[in-house]
Structure 1
C-alpha cells in the first residue's frame, strides 16, 4: 500500500477546505504507518506508554465512528475496540492484532463518515448532544474537531515512527 497525500487547496470554499484538510490528515496517518511490519506497528513509543501506530489507527477508527455515526446521525453503534472493561482498548494492541484488520476497519469508518456527511450543510446540527451543555454540534464543528484530533495524533505518529526506523517528515 502506497499512500499519496494530496495537499489541501490554498484557496477554496469553506467546505472544500475543511474536507481537504481532514483528508490530508487521514492520509498523513496512513503515510506514517506505510512500509512497516505488524510488529513495528505494534511497537509502543516509550515505556510506560502503550501508544503505538496501530493503536493510533484503531483509536481513530473509534473516533470516526463516534463523531460521524453516533453523534452526527444518531447511529447507536457501539465502540469497536474499547468498552467498559477496557476504556483504552483501542490503544491496547496485542500480538494477535494485525495491520490488515486495523487499516480495513479504519477505512470502513472513514467511508461511512464521508457518506454520513455528504449532502449535509456545515450548519447541520447533530442528533447527538454535548454532555455538559445539551447542545447539538454543527457539522462544521465536527470537521474542525476531527482535523484537530488527527493533527494531534499525527504529531504522536511522527515521533513513534522516528523511534521505530528514524523516518521523519511533516
Structure 2
C-alpha cells in the first residue's frame, strides 16, 4: 500500500503524455511563427497555457496543497508567484520607484496560497492582469536589442527570462500535480 496516487492521463496514443498530440491545444498545425519576437511570444504563450492545464479540474484545496514536502510550493503558489514575477519584470523597465509587491513580504505568494475559492479567483485575476500589463509594456519595444532602464537590460533578455521562469515552474507543476492526483506531465 502506498500514499502515492496512481498515475493517470487522458492520452490514448502516448499513455505517458498529458493528452494526445491531436488534442493538445498548444500544438498548432502549419508552420511556426515568423521571426524572433513572434517565436519568443509563442513559447511564452505555450508555457502559460501549460501552467493552466496543470491546474485544470482541481478545487481550491487541491490547488493550495503542498504535495512535495519540504517545499512550500503549491500550484496556487506558482500562479501567485508568477503574477508577482510579471509585476517585478515591469520594475526593470523604469528608473522610478518600483511597483509594490502584490502579496507583501518575501514568500507571501506561496505562504498566502490557501485553499479558499476567493483566493484562487483573485490569484488567477492577478496573474491575467499582470501578464497583460507586462505584455503591453514590452510591446512598446519591438526592437529586441533595445536596452532600457537603469540596468540597461535588453528586451530580448527580459523575454527569454520570462520564458525560462514559466518553463521552470511548469516542471515544478508537473511534479506537484502528479503527487496530487497522479496526473502525468507533458
Q: Answer whether contact 1:42 1:53 (CA < 8 A) is retained.
A: yes
| C-alpha distance in structure 2 between counterparts of 1:152 and 1:35, whole Å | 22
Number of the residue aligned with 2:177: 161
TM-score of the aligned structures, taking structure 2 as reference length: 0.77
Number of the residue aligned with 1:115: 136
1:60 maps to 2:82: yes
Kindly report which structure 2 residues correspond to 1:24-39, keeping only aligned pairs within 5 A, or say none: 24-39=46-61
CA-based RMSD of the aligned residues comes to: 1.9
Which structure ranks higher in relative contact order (CA pairs < 8 Å, sequence separation ≥ 6)? 2
- Equivalent of 1:94 in 114, 122, 125: 114
| C-alpha distance in structure 1 between counterparts of 2:93 and 2:27, whole Å | 26
The 1:41/1:95 distance shift into structure 2, 3 A limit, reads closer
Q: Give the deviation of 1:141 after TM superposition.
A: 0.3
Gap runs ≥5 in structure 2: 1-23
Q: Answer whether contact 1:73 1:116 (CA < 8 A) is retained.
A: no
Q: Give the deviation of 1:49 after TM superposition.
A: 1.6
Q: Answer whether contact 1:22 1:147 (CA < 8 A) is retained.
A: yes
| C-alpha distance in structure 2 between counterparts of 1:169 and 1:47, whole Å | 19
TM-score of the aligned structures, taking structure 1 as reference length: 0.84
- Give CA-to-partner distance per residue, 1:74-131, whole Å, 9 cap, x none: 5621111232xxx1111112345621111010000011011111131211222142xx
| C-alpha distance in structure 1 between counterparts of 2:32 and 2:134, whole Å | 24
Q: Answer whether contact 2:144 2:155 (CA < 8 A) is retained.
A: yes
- Equivalent of 2:104 in 79, 82, 87: 82
The 1:33/1:95 distance shift into structure 2, 3 A limit, reads closer
